[in-house]
Structure 1
Amino acid sequence: MNASESPNPPYFDVLLDRIASGDREAVTAFGRHVHWGLWDSPAAADGSAADYLQAAERMCQRICDAAKIQPPARIADVGCGFGGTIASLNERYQSLAMTGINIDPRQLQRAEEQVVPAADNQIQWTCADAASLPLDDAAFDAVLAVECIFHFDRPRFFAEASRILRPGGVLSLSDFVPQPQMADFMTGGAGAMSEAIRWTYGDVDMSCSLDGYEQLAAENGMRLLACEDVTEQTLPTYDFLCEGAQRWHDRHHAELFLQATGWLRKASRKKLIRYLILSFEKLGDRSC
């Protein structure tokens, strides 16, 4: 099957196989969160799976904090993966009603197996497309999209996020955002690296600049609330991922992974692509 024919990113197929085989590094590093890590002191990263898990949890908490959650609250985590973000919120807060949404039922199954609601929290798992959310209008205080929006139809997702957020609610997300001079290049799929990226990460769209995000927000009744550039704090991620790929049995897939991830590492180090945490506030009804 061509990677573009599946709604599930190829790296999840590899990761689920590694977890099923009992790969301890995969279970430790990615059994909860499947996204980049964040180090307050990148030089202190030690390259271990346990250190990576802590960095991924730190990233998750930073994105959730940008949503300004105030219990009691209703939270929609779109592209919820293995449920790590909801697990983190479940441990940190009480009186949350949380809905995890993912297009891949395998990920939702693992999430449901791994996350048990704490005392006053409620958790629901829903299989759905981010561009067509089966959720009520103006029903949520926060919408989260942790390192997954590049898989979505952005305009439709922004419209859906705006629809389900109450006035004053917040959409918080993280993304690889190109500098203006890179945006047109990224629209073409990262040039020579496009095939490696497609076979590693699936169909991804890293062409939305910060200006593009502000325009999407304005078109959907939202405004940019905050923008945090954490690119430098994510850089140890690349060393960890590339070192791990050296030990994969499937050398063909490992080489594609190293090409794609190496290209993204170079672009990130040069800050041609920035890892941003963005939050957007849903504005009130202007007719009122």
Structure 2
Amino acid sequence: MTTYLITGANGGLGAVAARELAARGDRVVLAVRDPARVTPPPGDTEVRRLDLADLASVREFAGGWSGELDVLINNAGVMAVPYARTADGFETHMAVNHFGPFLLTNLLLPHLTGRVVTVSSGLARTGRVRLDDLNWEHRRYSALGAYSQSKLANLLFTQELQRRLSGSAVRAVAAHPGVARTGLDRHFGGGRSLLMKAVYPLIAQKKAEYGALPILFAATEDVPGNAYVGPGGRNGERPRLERRTDHAGARELWEISTRLTS
């Protein structure tokens, strides 16, 4: 039996992935901010509390893990939320989408036997990681820009993690769902143009079930380290490996993230 840990499995892509993996007979741990609001899918499932916006919560969660973990799926995230800082002083997107998963992964590495799957976004291609201003302290805030930066950070994290795992049985891979209606985009459109507000709901009609397929593919199929899986086919029903190039700054981002989360 394979053990999966899925963050943000209370809804959207994470909930679909948890349901499908549990239906296969695997053990699935759903890590969510509010366990009382989650009904786990049938099967060998468990719900545990984890708030990725709070590094103390991440440490407590990881400290309570015992036994082997086959696959960690870093799925939880926020998108295009208004500017805010967490208790640790991080901009919200970077806290939830990058710093929290970064610390969680590193703390759980001694338990991991299979792979780390980190969920990025197609908008990573528009992102720019400002190593000198990761938390938007010295530039005008852009909710979409902050999201894109954090999603590109996911790819840099995967790239550097795989480099560090060289020679290990554990591999690091990434995936993105394309455009799917998951609830993550509820803030999207705020402050956007009237055209974007009108067009986005029309292009984001793909079901969460299709959006979860690249994540499931990355978690279960024999893909190489540093692979990037995205949707293929008309509705995203055929996951495929995306063309992947190494990004500059991956090692520097790792070093900064280590310092800020230490």
Normalising by the smaller structure, the TM-score range is: 0.3 to 0.5
Larger relative helix fraction: 1
TM-score (norm 1): 0.41
TM-score (norm 2): 0.43
Larger relative strand fraction: 1
| Bigger RCO (CA 8 Å, 6+ sep) | 1
